[in-house]
Every structure is written in C-alpha cells, then in structure tokens.
A and B are shown apart, each in its own frame.
Chain A
Amino acid sequence: MTELRGFYTLWLREVKRYFRDRTRVVSSFVQPLLWLVIFGAGFGMRFAIPGGNYMQYLFPGIIGQTLLFTSMFMGISVIWDRDFGFLKEILVAPISRFSLFLGKMIGDSTDAVIQGVIVFALGMLLGISVDPLAFLISLPIMLLITFGLVSIGLTIASFMGSLESFGAIQTFINLPIFFLSGALFPLSGPLAENVPAWLPTVSTFDPLTYGVDALRSVLLGGTYVSLQPFWVNIAVLCGFDALMIAIGTWAFARMK
C-alpha cells in the first residue's frame, strides 16, 4: 500500500509539472507541424500511396516521432532533479527503487502520450482523417511505445553527469531510431522497391518500427500492408518495455 501511494505521488508530480510548464506544451506543436506541413507537402509529390495521400501515411510516423523525442527528452528530469537536489529526497524515502522508477517512468510516459494526443488534434486540423475508434485504440499502443523509450531516457540520464552530455547522447540515439523506424518511408511492399536490402533488416532491431507499424495498421485500416501482424508488434513492444523497465530499475537502484 505504501509502495502504491509512493508510486502514485511520483506519477502525479510528473504530470503536474508537465501541465505547469506551458512552454513545453506549446513547443510540442511546432516540430510535428513542420514535419507534417513542410516535409509532408514536399515529399507528397514523390510517393503515391495507394488509397490515400502521403500526409495520411506520414501521420502515424510523426506520432511515433513525437513519442520518441518526447520520451527520450524526459530523461532530463532525472538530471534536473539531481541538479536541484530533489532527487535526494526521493532516493532516501523508504520506498523501493522499483516503485520509484515506475512512478517516474509512467508519469513521464503519460506526459509523452499527452503530447501525442496534441499531435493528433493538430493532424485533424490539418485535414488528416482520424477514425474515433482508431484513435482510442491508438492510446494504449502509444503508452506501450513510450514505456520502453522513457525507460531508455531515464536510464541514460541516470548515468549522465550533465545536461550537455545527455543532450549529445540523446541526438545520437534519437535520429537513428527515428530514421530506421519507417516513420517517413515504407520499409516493405511495392513502394519500398528502391530501399536497399540492409535497411529493413536493421530496422527490425528498432523498437519504434513495431510501434509505428502498429499505429499505421490501426489508423490507416485495410489499405495498409503491415510489416508484421498486429499481435507481433504488440508482443515485441511489451517485451521491449519489460526489458527496459528492468534495466531502468537496476540503473535507479545503483544511483546514490
């Protein structure tokens, strides 16, 4: 019971902090907007996606990208907490490191998913059609995507001494995950004919590939030929999350 309350209070803190930081909420619009409008419009010429336009195809990828960037960025909260001393307060509390990690991680994931929902709204304003039911199914998938990614961010941050080094590492990890995930272009099917063979192979090691694929299956419906069956995507995400949570808990346990 104590563990549960500890978890809850840490979760609540992350969510409160997110809503109080208006610049974070507002800035979350900008990047996806640029990708969808400029990149989407520019590349729409190249691709003729059967049964839809490129913007529609790109949209789940940009959701995935938003989740990726936001989740990884959340690691900064560990460095922030350490720099401002608050980390000590929670590290000496009589609560297990697992609850501690989980509270922070799920709190950050909640924030990241809220960012994702904002991008959904943005997409609809830009004329992307979203089925209400598909949106609802997307929510738990989005959570599954963020759990593992936030865990990576928190784990890396727990090893980092400064904001600068965390920022450097983050770019190093973010971009490969993003580009390899197939968020921007198809990795299989008739449209992927010119994609070199190594690319789909490497992208099977990218967790976001499965997330984006699952989101596309849900949001694009029958017109989309998925890379993996839906349940495989979900199973891989779950497995990845479990592994990252285990590693994250270990990383938090060794923090002093």
Chain B
Amino acid sequence: MYFGFRMLTAEMIGFCGKSGNILKSTLRLKFLKQRGTDDYSMTNAFVIETKQLTKSFNGLMAVDKLDITVESGEIFGLLGPNGAGKTTTISMLCTILKPTSGTAKVNGFDIVKEARQVRKSIGIVFQDPSIDDRLTGRENLNMHANLYGVPPGEQKDRIDRILKLVELDDRADDLMRTYSGGMRRRLELGRGLIHYPKVLFLDEPTLGLDPQTRDHIWTYIKELKKTHDITIVLTTHYMDEADRLSDRIGIMDRGKIIALDTPPKLKETLEGDVMIIKAKNLDAMAALVSEKMGLTKTRMIDGTLEITVHQGKTVMPRIMELATENKIFIDSILLREPNLEDVFLHYTGRIIRADSGRELHGFSAIQRRKIR
C-alpha cells in the first residue's frame, strides 16, 4: 500500500509539476504516519534491521545474535552452505518463526509485535514450490491478490501486468500442473509482487533449476528491481548467483555473518589471485612453495593444489622453475581471479560444496517440502 502511494506520487509529479509536489508531501506525511514507528529517518535508510536476532532449536544455535541492516532498494544476498541459518533468518523476518531472543524490524514494523503489518509489507518466494497446481496461473495470482487485500478493481490490471513481466501471459489460463519448473518459479516470483511489497524475500530462488532457467530467473530478478523499486533479500548457496545479483553479500556460516560487503570488496580481502596446480606430488609442492617462496595460503581441493598469491602472473614462472628443480612434474597450472568460494574458504577454512544443493525429485522431494 505504501509502495502504491510512492508510485502514484512519482507519476503525478510528472504530470502536475508544482501542485504535484504539494500532493507529494501530504501523501508522504500520510505514508509516514501509517508506518507506526517513531524513528522515520532510520527506517527510511534501512528497510530491514536486525538486533541480536537469535533462534535456537533445542539448544542448537541456528541463528546466532545476528546484526544486519538492509538498505532500501538494494539486493542483499545471504550466502552460505546449507544449514548456515539463512532460511531460519528469512523465516524470522517473514514472521513465520518467532525469534528466541533479539528483534528485527522490517519496513519499520516489529517482526513479533506487528507481524500482520510486516506480512503486508513483504513478498516471499519460498525455497520449495508453494503454488496450487490444480489451479491456473491466473487463479493462483488472483487468490494471492485476495489474500493480501488488493482492491478488486485493481486486481485484473495488476495481474495482467505481472503475467506480462514474467512472460506467462500466454499460459495464464492453463492449469499450473502443466507448467515446467522454471515457469512455476517465474509465476511465484510474479506472485510475490502483486500486492506491491516493500521487500521481496527470495529463498534459494533457483534451487534445482537447470542452468539455462537459472540464467533466465536472474534476468527477471534484476528486471524486477529496476521496474519495481523494491528491496530484495535473497539466500543462496550458489556463489555465482550471489555474485551476479547482489549489491551486498552477507556470508553466513553456523548462524553468524562472517563477512559482509559488496562482492568486489569481499574478493579484495583475499589480496590476490588463485593459482590451481595439478601435479603428481602435491604435498611436496605445497611444502616447497611455502618454504621457498613464503606462500602459506595453500589448500588441497579435489586433487589440486590451490594457492592464493599476489600478482599470480609473475609468480607462475618461478613456481614452475621450483618444481623442475625439485623434480616435481606439473600437469597443469591455472590462474584465476578469486571468487566468493575463495572468500568463504578464507573466512571459514571450509568450502561451500557446489553439489550440496538439494535437488527436488520425486516423493522424497515432497517429503522435504514439509514445513512444520
């Protein structure tokens, strides 16, 4: 609703000039009044603000004293391995779970005391499918609009526009069981926008989708941000996804944020490139480079030796020399820019397994979709 006001004012100013400005300020006043909060300046800057947000399940800390702020209009990525507490965090922000301690505000509303207001301010795309496949795409959207109190007069127009946005207008009246996985996902993305939410939560938006569809969904997410002036919070355990979409990334591990910055800055913290060496005798190689060249940031991954180095290009010939001198036969050397995986590794000493994602197949998938 608030979002609606803002859109409206923006259009009106375009048409009405000065008088529009007056209108704008009155509407804005109304807008602020309805927020139900006493600190406007803060909530304007931060759409989401958590304070020592904590959730434990039977003594196990799923989310551990989380302090994050999400700015208005940004795409904020929560990156981490499965079980890091990403979904638990989002569930609390969406008022599905109550925090064990600590608090958070979403769009200026307290997630515990003003849950209903929070729910009205947000759109959610769950990790697992949440559509009714016995209804058509349009019927699903219609139901959502009714559940979120979109005025009946506006529903048709909004639904048509959303369907166009996610390019499903030609399939709108087909039963959703005939949709492909990617199409369902797109409809869910669109559905989350129908009530003009202030914040859109995307929990693993491309989990279990093929690479092409993932690419497609990314394009939509970026498009949404451009066209809808919306704040997006997404969780993912895919590095590339976080990297490509997020303005800022919070790397999460074991319930804590271990690093938080823009993707380029996160990578800069590594101070170097990553060199990947394939050789017969990797242990000896690792010992050599650390001993003779002082390169201690080494690790073994999948039968390769990875070394983080400054100015990899100049170091590479010296490493090859060193190997030849010590009769170590190198199969290949590869030099690449650091990615978020390296950043995660840097902070935790472990890697996020790319294959750790749960694929959704058959009945076990249905079982896992349960929420309790």
Q: A8 an interface residue at 8 Å Cβ cutoff?
A: yes
What residue of chain A has the Cβ atom nearest to residue B195's Cβ? A94
B120 cross-chain contacts in A, Cβ below 8 A: 94
A251 → B minimal CB distance (Å)? 14
Q: A2 an interface residue at 8 Å Cβ cutoff?
A: yes
Contact flags (1/0) for A212-246 with B, using CB distance below 8 Å?
00000000000000000000000000000000000
B134 and A5: CB pair below 8 A? no
B4 cross-chain contacts in A, Cβ below 8 A: none
B196 → A minimal CB distance (Å)? 13
CA–CA, A6 and B142, complex, Å: 11
CA–CA, A93 and B152, complex, Å: 17
B96 cross-chain contacts in A, Cβ below 8 A: 88, 91-92, 256
Q: B132 an interface residue at 8 Å Cβ cutoff?
A: yes
CA–CA, A10 and B140, complex, Å: 11
Q: B327 an interface residue at 8 Å Cβ cutoff?
A: no
B130 and A16: CB pair below 8 A? no
B208 → A minimal CB distance (Å)? 13
CA–CA, A256 and B134, complex, Å: 23
A20 cross-chain contacts in B, Cβ below 8 A: 134, 175
What residue of chain B has the Cβ atom nearest to residue A2's Cβ? B149
B126 cross-chain contacts in A, Cβ below 8 A: 85, 88-89
Q: B133 an interface residue at 8 Å Cβ cutoff?
A: yes
B129 and A5: CB pair below 8 A? no
Q: Considering only CB atoms and an 8 Å cut-off, how many residues of chain A contact the other chain?
A: 30
Q: B45 an interface residue at 8 Å Cβ cutoff?
A: no
Known: A13-B132, A92-B94. A83 touches B369 (CB 8 A): yes
The residue in B119, B143, B366 that gathers the most chain A C-beta atoms within 10 A of its C-beta is B143
A1 cross-chain contacts in B, Cβ below 8 A: 149
A86 and B371: CB pair below 8 A? no
CA–CA, A81 and B371, complex, Å: 10
A to B contact number (C-beta, < 8 Å): 89
Contact of B148 among A21, A82, A91, A93 (CB under 8 A): A93
CA–CA, A82 and B366, complex, Å: 9
Kindly identify, within residues 96 to 125 of chain B, every residue whose CB is under 8 Å from any CB belonging to chain A.
Answer: 96-97, 116-117, 119-120, 124
B116 and A21: CB pair below 8 A? no
Q: B278 an interface residue at 8 Å Cβ cutoff?
A: no
A54 → B minimal CB distance (Å)? 40
B146 and A8: CB pair below 8 A? yes
Kindly identify, within residues 129 to 169 of chain B, every residue whose CB is under 8 Å from any CB belonging to chain A.
Answer: 129-135, 139, 142-144, 146-149, 152
Known: A9-B146, A88-B371. A83 touches B366 (CB 8 A): yes
B152 cross-chain contacts in A, Cβ below 8 A: 5
Kindly identify, within residues 1 to 51 of chain A, every residue whose CB is under 8 Å from any CB belonging to chain B.
Answer: 1-2, 5-6, 8-10, 12-13, 16-17, 20-21
Contact of A256 among B133, B144, B147, B372 (CB under 8 A): B372
B149 and A5: CB pair below 8 A? yes
A13 and B147: CB pair below 8 A? no
Contact of A92 among B119, B132, B366, B370 (CB under 8 A): B119
B146 cross-chain contacts in A, Cβ below 8 A: 5-6, 8-9
A84 and B366: CB pair below 8 A? yes
Q: A95 an interface residue at 8 Å Cβ cutoff?
A: yes
CA–CA, A5 and B366, complex, Å: 30
CA–CA, A2 and B128, complex, Å: 27
Known: A93-B148, A94-B120, A256-B372. A86 touches B132 (CB 8 A): yes
CA–CA, A88 and B96, complex, Å: 9
B147 and A93: CB pair below 8 A? yes
Q: A87 an interface residue at 8 Å Cβ cutoff?
A: yes
CA–CA, A84 and B188, complex, Å: 14
A84 cross-chain contacts in B, Cβ below 8 A: 129, 132-133, 366, 369
CA–CA, A83 and B132, complex, Å: 11
What residue of chain A has the Cβ atom nearest to residue B155's Cβ? A5
What residue of chain B has the Cβ atom nearest to residue A7's Cβ? B146
A6 and B371: CB pair below 8 A? no
B142 and A9: CB pair below 8 A? yes
B139 and A256: CB pair below 8 A? no
A252 → B minimal CB distance (Å)? 14
CA–CA, A1 and B153, complex, Å: 14
Q: B95 an interface residue at 8 Å Cβ cutoff?
A: yes
B139 cross-chain contacts in A, Cβ below 8 A: 13, 16
Q: A126 an interface residue at 8 Å Cβ cutoff?
A: no
Kindly identify, within residues 114 to 132 of chain A, every residue whose CB is under 8 Å from any CB belonging to chain B.
Answer: none
The residue in A8, A20, A21, A83 that gathers the most chain B C-beta atoms within 10 A of its C-beta is A83
CA–CA, A237 and B146, complex, Å: 32
CA–CA, A1 and B371, complex, Å: 29
A94 → B minimal CB distance (Å)? 4
CA–CA, A1 and B149, complex, Å: 8
A88 cross-chain contacts in B, Cβ below 8 A: 96, 126, 128, 130, 371
Q: A195 an interface residue at 8 Å Cβ cutoff?
A: no
CA–CA, A94 and B124, complex, Å: 12
Known: A6-B146, A8-B146, A13-B143. A86 touches B119 (CB 8 A): no
Contact of B371 among A8, A10, A256 (CB under 8 A): A256
Known: A5-B152, A9-B147, A256-B97. A85 touches B134 (CB 8 A): no
CA–CA, A92 and B2, complex, Å: 19
CA–CA, A21 and B132, complex, Å: 13
What residue of chain B has the Cβ atom nearest to residue A88's Cβ? B130
Known: A83-B369, A256-B371, A256-B372. A94 touches B119 (CB 8 A): yes
A92 and B129: CB pair below 8 A? no
CA–CA, A10 and B134, complex, Å: 14
CA–CA, A2 and B369, complex, Å: 29
Residues of A whose CB lies within 8 Å of any CB of B are 1-2, 5-6, 8-10, 12-13, 16-17, 20-21, 81-95, 161, 256
Q: 7 pairs across A/B with beta carbons < 8 Å?
A: A6-B149, A16-B134, A17-B134, A20-B175, A86-B132, A89-B131, A93-B148
